Copies of this chain bind each other. A is one copy, B any other.
């Protein structure tokens, strides 16, 4: 691959990973590419991480045409590895399409990431639960406030080192508030795209949940406000009578890579996994009668986030004994084990950067 490389004068001092707040520290370099109607995507390059010069009329600032991805690089035995990165670039293209934005060559995008990671290999931390968070993003750059799909776009990949999110035993628990007033997404809308606007529009409900003492929102569907969709920025799973359940993808749920991976390897391990339309009352009943023994979120950031308590229609319910359950623990250990090559990668999900 012939990727233009612009070297920076001086490298940054690397921070103490234990002291870094998530998403606020970035590495020395980034991938950059541009799109216009004549040239398509062009000028892929690795350049110093530095401010962009954007006109006040830049389309993304007004009409929010922006989609992103999130994945992680891990350090294993001195080598940098990725987990199913091709899934993220496939989803990026699906998101781009939904937001009337131009698709990007998935291989070229992934190759540019790999070149970037080779240069930034010393930024990949190697402690337990630590990783280099990878943020591909595409946004509209036309200098026009006419309400039209932009005719110019920018693609960036930036990198941010992240420490372990959880306590030293690897997994903590979280409390969830079921939102029955605000709606995140609806069929026919943009809920299945990793669209920036889905995150902005979710923040108010998230703030209210925090004020009530809950760390995440459980979203219900936009039509009937009765069916489970997502939890915060994660997919949701639960264990009922020893079987796994997760809401079926319906156009308003984000198709998570962690979600997909859990379904695939849990089935391989002999679990029955149901992708269903799940009514909140059925779910609540299962919590009340004890048949639902575990609930957890699943996503790139936390991998698995066990839920200790759920507030449903104003009533707080404890999940099982309120501790991390055995299925969540097995899934977390297996997934992080595969990601860090401590568990056999029988699905060939781990990609080495070399």
A147 CB → nearest B CB, Å: 6
A37 CB → nearest B CB, Å: 14
A193-240 residues with Cβ-Cβ distance < 8 A to B are 195-201, 203-204, 207, 222-223, 225, 233
Q: How many copies make up the complex? A: 2
The number of chain A residues with a CB under 8 A from chain B is: 65
A26 CB → nearest B CB, Å: 6
User: Which residues in B have their C-beta under 8 angstroms from that of A51?
Assistant: 53-56
Q: What is the bound-complex CA distance between A50 and B200, given in angstroms? A: 27
Residue from A24, A97, A181 whose CB has the most chain B CB atoms within 10 Å: A24
A53 to B56, Cβ gap below 8 A? no
Q: Is A283 an interface residue (CB 8 A)?
A: no
Q: Is A127 an interface residue (CB 8 A)?
A: no
Task: Encode contact with B along A28-59: 1 for CB under 8 Å, 0 otherwise.
Answer: 00100000000000000000011111111100
A195 to B188, Cβ gap below 8 A? no
A64 to B199, Cβ gap below 8 A? yes
Q: Is A253 an interface residue (CB 8 A)?
A: no
Q: What is the bound-complex CA distance between A103 and B52, given in angstroms? A: 27
Query: Could you jot down 19 A-B contacts, CB within 8 Å?
Result: A22-B146, A23-B57, A51-B56, A52-B55, A54-B54, A57-B160, A60-B64, A62-B135, A62-B199, A64-B200, A99-B203, A100-B200, A133-B145, A145-B160, A183-B187, A186-B222, A186-B223, A195-B200, A197-B200
